[in-house]
A = this chain, B = another copy of it.
């Protein structure tokens, strides 16, 4: 069955306090060299074989139920056609 991944991230103009917390914690743990951290959602969808357009279905689902268009942007990737 097709698998489609949807990654949902805050738009770049919107602060990501959670990502910033990880960014700031890293040097205190001995990790140097990470310039930026942003945290979002990763959603994995398994689509039925009889769906003609798995990518289009995933995009429609992302639009309606996974992402908040005011503050978030998403990318859709078919990983297993």
Q: Which of B24, B42, B48, B51 contacts A25 (CB 8 A)?
A: B24
Q: How large is the interface on A (under 10, 10 to 19, 20 to 34, 35 or more residues)?
A: 35 or more
Tell me which residues across on chain B come within 8 A of A51, comparing CB atoms: 33
Given contacts A15-B68, A70-B14, contact A35 B46 (CB under 8 A): yes
A34 to B9, CA, bound (A): 22
With a cutoff of 8 Å between Cβ atoms, the chain B residues found around residue A29 in the complex are: 24, 64-65
Contacts of A67 in B (CB 8 A): 17
Interface flag for A71 (CB, 8 Å) = yes
Q: Is A37 an interface residue (CB 8 A)?
A: yes
Given contacts A29-B64, A51-B33, contact A9 B42 (CB under 8 A): yes
